[in-house]
Amino acid sequence: MRNRNLAFKKLETLEATLTTLLQIVNRQSPIETYKVNIGKAQGLVEDLKDMVEREPMSPSELNKLK
What is the residue-level pLDDT of the chain in tens, covering all 66 positions? 667 888 899 999 999 999 999 999 999 999 999 899 999 999 999 999 998 888 887 777 666 665
Residue 36 has what pLDDT? 94
State the pLDDT at residue 38: 93
User: Residue 32's pLDDT is what?
Assistant: 93
CA distance 27 to 40: 19
What local confidence, expressed as pLDDT, does residue 4 receive? Answer: 80
